[in-house]
Amino acid sequence: MLSILRDQALVTAGIVKNSIFSVNDTIVSEGMDDRRLYLIEKGRARVTGRVALADGRYIQPGLCDLGPGEIFGELSLFDVCSRSASVIALDDVEALEFDVQALEGYLDAHPAQGYIVLKDVQKILTTRLRQTDRRWEQFFAWGLKEHGIDRHL
* 5-36 pLDDT tens trace: 888 888 888 899 999 999 999 999 998 988 99
Q: With respect to CATH, is domain 3-152 assigned 2.60.120.10?
A: yes
Model pTM? 0.82
- Quick one: which H or E segment has residue 89? strand 86-89
Strand ordering across the sheet containing 16-21 = 16-21, 93-99, 36-42, 71-72
pLDDT of residue 1: 64
Model confidence band, residue 132 (pLDDT cutoffs 50, 70, 90): confident
